[in-house]
Homo-oligomer: A and B are copies of this chain.
Amino acid sequence: MKKNSKEAIIQAAISLFTANGFDGTSIRDIANKAKVNVANISYYFQSKQGLLEYCFTTFFEEYLLKIEKGYASLDHGASFCLKQMSSVIIEFLCDNIQFTSFIFREMSIDSQTVREIMTTYYRKEKYFLQKVLEIGVESKEFRPQSISYIIVQLKGLWTMPFLNAPYLREVLYLFPNERYFAAKYTLEINKWIDEVLCVKKLA
């Protein structure tokens, strides 16, 4: 009958974790919102922590797929590839803005779980980014630069609008959940790639 208890729990959890944080959300709140019995959460995810890990995994599994998808276009050039990756990721984050906000916030806490997720997924992401950047430098598309510092900047540009959505809305009057924003913001990142990374073209 209720075939989607599990899914209901996840949706409720994401929504509440986003609004109130992980520790600020009780499994009773989640159970109420999902209209299931509290014990079901333990049943499906062992514990509240298990539910969190499930959310992390779900998010980053797909996140990495998007990264890989963008990376696949590397043979069209490093610059094109990086823009492609940005575009795909921004779109993904924009489409899951709530989820994104909660995940990125929770990832800024230095816990055991976070460390594991980080080494599992962010190391792979770093591998792809590094590859693109290195190949770009080799092919003279990109100026030689400190790869780590470039990644810091790129990741800052990627995550900021979705982690600080209230700031964008309240202070800048930008609405990062709208596709329009994603499109325009991607262009800004492309500009950053062109101006900061790429070798300058002569006029």
Residues of B within 8 A of A123 (CB): 171
A152 touches B159 (CB 8 A): no
Q: Which of B114, B170, B185 contacts A152 (CB 8 A)?
A: B185
> Which residue of B has the minimal Cβ distance to A158?
B156
* A122 and B171 within 8 A (CB): yes
User: Which segment of A7-15, A20-28, A66-74, A75-83 sits at the interface?
Assistant: A20-28
Residues of B within 8 A of A174 (CB): 148-149, 152
Measured CB to CB, the closest approach of chain B to A142, in angstroms, equals 13
Does A48 interact with chain B (Cβ within 8 Å)? no
The stretch from A29-37, A55-63, A132-140, A160-168 touching chain B is A160-168
Interface residue SS majority, chain A: helix
Cα–Cα, bound, A108→B169 (Å): 12
One of B19, B115, B163 near A166 (C-beta < 8 A): B115
Most chain B CB within 10 A, of A152, A161, A184, is at: A152
Once the chains bind, are B192 and A196 in contact (CB under 8 Å)?
yes
User: Are the C-beta atoms of A108 and B164 separated by less than 8 Å?
Assistant: yes
- Count of A interface residues, CB-CB < 8 Å: 50
Residue of B nearest to A202 (CB): B203
- Cβ contact within 8 Å between B119 and A167: no
Q: Would you list which residues of chain A between 87 and 115 have a CB under 8 Å from chain B?
A: 101, 104-105, 107-110, 114-115
The answer to whether A185 touches B118, judged by C-beta atoms less than 8 angstroms apart, is: no
**How near does chain B come to A63, taking the closest CB pair, in angstroms?**
14
Q: Which residues of B contact A101 (CB under 8 A)?
A: 108
